[in-house]
Amino acid sequence: MIGWLIYDQEEGVRNQAYVARYFAAAKKRRVSLSLLETEKLCFGFRGGEPFFAYEGKPIAPPDFAIVRTLFPTLSRQLEQAGVAVYNSSKMAELCNDKQKTYQFFASKGIPILDTYFAAKTKAEYLTLPTPFVGKPAGGRGGRQVELIETPQDFSALQRTFPHEAFLVQEPAFYPGKDLRVYVLGKKIVAAMLRTAKQGILSNYTLGGTASVYSLSPKEEQLVQEINSFLDPGLFGIDFLFHEQGLVLNEIEDVVGARMLYAHTNIDLADRYLDWIVKSDKT
């Protein structure tokens, strides 16, 4: 079996230890795995057929690809070439746009915070009392999330994203902490509680602390309900703690695993590759 592990160059370097775990898992299963950097990859159509080249040389598509970058167009191209792609292009498009995520899951009855898509709304017409939280629709890892306390703050947020969709939300009832649940296929792998050292951002890579969390039966039911709408793959489903319980915050398509390796004995890369090898798609 032949597979591609696809990263942007900078992220591949930053995640060298995680990449090494994928190669160890592949070697154990006699999978031929190659690391490809998006900057060196050319793809499109030649003679009406999907075409790929790497470092300027034509390359045959693999049996499967693990896409660790936000590039739905590449994922769709691989799928058109008959490659089993993880996660699917459909999920990449849904999960990496918070507006699409909220529209889809709110329509399925999944609880979310009061949320407005307010990129063009003038501050005086925004029907959300301050303070509230503003974030870009395509943001990841807690970056560029702002606490908005005045109309002037909101206007500054609009200037920050003049050509990008963003949204605003009411603050969670219990700010500064959130819950990430890792799901693989249709099973829950682990749940991790993240707590901010200060402010509202609890992301582990931004200095938040993490600990293993035991889901209640009600919480597990909510996770599985969300997971039922996802194509099989590896995701991080993130929740905030609100008055009546968990509310969906976002779904990480290219989910990080640093806190999982730091606080558990779970080798996520090994489990992921094992699941891929045994998947019906491959």
CATH number of the domain within which 147 lies: 3.30.1490
Nearest to 275 by CA among 4, 18, 29, 15: 29
Cis peptide bond prior to 96, omega within 30° of 0: no
Residue 110 lies in a domain: no
Distance CA 72, CA 69 (A): 9
Verify that 201 and 260 share a domain, yes or no. Answer: yes
Distances (CA, A) of 54 to 13, 40, 88, 169: 18, 6, 21, 42
In this prediction, residues 192-213 reach a mean pLDDT of 71
Angle between the N-to-C axes of helices 16-28 and 268-278, in degrees from 0 to 180, rounded to the nearest 10: 40
Q: What is the pLDDT of residue 128?
A: 86
Verify that 76 and 121 share a domain, yes or no. Answer: no
Verify that 29 and 121 share a domain, yes or no. Answer: no
H helix or E strand, kind and range, residue 224: helix 217-227
Containing domain of residue 131, as a range?
A: 115-169
Q: What are residue 45's phi and psi, to 5 degrees?
A: -130, 140
Verify that 189 and 218 share a domain, yes or no. Answer: yes
Q: What is the pLDDT of residue 142?
A: 58
CATH number of the domain within which 250 lies: 3.30.470.20
H helix or E strand, kind and range, residue 211: strand 209-212
Specify the pTM. Answer: 0.90
Spatial contact of 134 and 150, defined as CB atoms under 8 Å apart: no
- Work out how many domains the chain is built from and give that number: 3
Spatial contact of 238 and 180, defined as CB atoms under 8 Å apart: yes
Coil, strand or helix: which one is 20?
helix
Verify that 269 and 178 share a domain, yes or no. Answer: yes
Residue 141: which pLDDT band, with cuts at 50, 70 and 90? low
Residue 142 lies in a domain: yes
Kindly report, residue by residue over 230-269, the tens digit of the pLDDT: 999 999 999 999 998 999 999 999 999 999 999 999 999 9
Sign of CA dihedral 185, 191, 196, 197: negative
Verify that 180 and 164 share a domain, yes or no. Answer: no
Nearest to 112 by CA among 222, 206, 202, 229: 222
Verify that 28 and 74 share a domain, yes or no. Answer: yes
